[in-house]
Structure formats: structure tokens, C-alpha cells
């Protein structure tokens, strides 16, 4: 399954423009508490199947984790559940924190 991605620069621009989308962080609580992207909602990967009903399949959804692996799994899962407009943040929060803004 194809996992579409979004760059840190594109995400930054969307945040600056106050675009309407959901940003989902699939890391664990401890990781989220150490560093997070302000608009992100914590939804650890292991809880996603039980919480998928909290997401609107008609909205744009951007998913991130630490480096992109777990979020790619989350994107693939969401796609399997009928979500069409969902993307993975390239490089995860690690690249986000290292990216100039």
C-alpha cells in the first residue's frame, strides 16, 4: 500500500496558514511529553484501532511519530479503513525538531 508523505516544510506552512486538518502523534505518552508539535493530538499506535472512530475520514489527516516508521503503519491502517486523505510526516518529529523554520 502506498504511504503518501508530507515534508516538515509543508507541514510548517500548513500550521502557519491555520489550515484545517488533524495532526495525529502515534508515539507513546512519555515521548509526547518530552517533545511535541503544538497542534498534535496524541493517539499511540497501539490504541489506534480502538480509537479510529474519533477521526473523520473526510478530513485531511497528517500522522507523525519519532522517525516515520510507526506513523507509516498508522497511515497504512487508516487507508485500510477507508481514509483517503492521510499522510505521513517524512522523518517524524526528529526531523521536525532539526528542521529550520
Q: Which of 48, 65, 72, 78 is catalytic?
A: 65
Strand order in the sheet with 86-89: 5-6, 86-89, 61-64, 22-25, 41-42
Residue 65 bears catalytic tag: yes
Neighbour-count burial for 45-78, b at 16+ CB within 10 Å, e otherwise: beebeeebeebeeeebbbbbbbebebbbbbbebb
Place of cell 509543508: 10
Catalytic site positions = 65
Amino acid at each position: 500500500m502506498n504511504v503518501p508523505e508530507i515534508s516538515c516544510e509543508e507541514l510548517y506552512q500548513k500550521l502557519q496558514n491555520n489550515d484545517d486538518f488533524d495532526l495525529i502523534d502515534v508515539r507513546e505518552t512519555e515521548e509526547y511529553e518530552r517533545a511535541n508539535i503544538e497542534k498534535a493530538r496524541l493517539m499511540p499506535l497501539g490504541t489506534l484501532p480502538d480509537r479510529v472512530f474519533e477521526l473523520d475520514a473526510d478530513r485531511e489527516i497528517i500522522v507523525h511519530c519519532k522517525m516515520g516508521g510507526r506513523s507509516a503503519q498508522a497511515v497504512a491502517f487508516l487507508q485500510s479503513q477507508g481514509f483517503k486523505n492521510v499522510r505521513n510526516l517524512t522523518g517524524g518529529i526528529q526531523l521536525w525538531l532539526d528542521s529550520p523554520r
